[in-house]
């Protein structure tokens, strides 16, 4: 899963079927409050990470009705929790990467 914030501050989920990777890719130099606004209900910023709401991921994936995807998503969240990457609210930590292009 790749959560992308475009130069236009649009938020989209790419490759929702790829449950082996999870990151937030930010195009250009969007940062701080502008990045927080772009995330909106999807999550919140904390340093070089963002906490992403699993409900938003399910909705944005377009695959929430697929039992196989739901099972894979649950395994991904379980793995993340074992690593300490799920907070008390259930949000999943995503590393922020920059795309300067």
Q: If you average pLDDT over residues 18-40, what whole number do you get?
A: 94
Burial (CB count within 10 angstroms: exposed 0-12, middle 13-18, buried 19+), residue 5? buried
Helix H or strand E encompassing 57: helix 54-61
Query: Residues 4, 77: contact at Cβ < 8 Å?
Result: no
Provide the residue range defining the domain that includes 39. 2-99
Q: How many angstroms separate the CA atoms of 1 and 14, rounded?
A: 6
Q: Look at residue 7 in the predicted model and tell me its pLDDT.
A: 94
Rounded average pLDDT over 43-55:
94
pTM over 0.95: no
Higher pLDDT, 48 or 14: 14
How, if at all, do strands 92-99 and 23-27 pair? parallel
* pLDDT over 90 (residue 71): yes
| Count of domains observed in the chain | 1
What's residue 101's pLDDT?
64
Average pLDDT over residues 54-66: 96
């Amino acid at each position: 899963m790749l959560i992308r914030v475009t130069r236009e501050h649009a938020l989209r989920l790419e490759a929702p079927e790829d449950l082996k990777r999870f990151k937030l890719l930010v195009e250009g130099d969007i940062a701080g409050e502008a990045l927080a606004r772009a995330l909106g209900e999807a999550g919140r910023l904390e340093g070089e990470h963002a906490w992403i709401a699993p409900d938003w991921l399910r909705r944005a994936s377009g695959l929430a009705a697929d039992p196989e995807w739901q099972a894979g998503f649950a395994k991904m969240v379980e793995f993340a929790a074992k690593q300490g990457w799920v907070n008390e609210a259930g949000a999943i930590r995503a590393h922020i990467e920059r795309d300067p292009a």
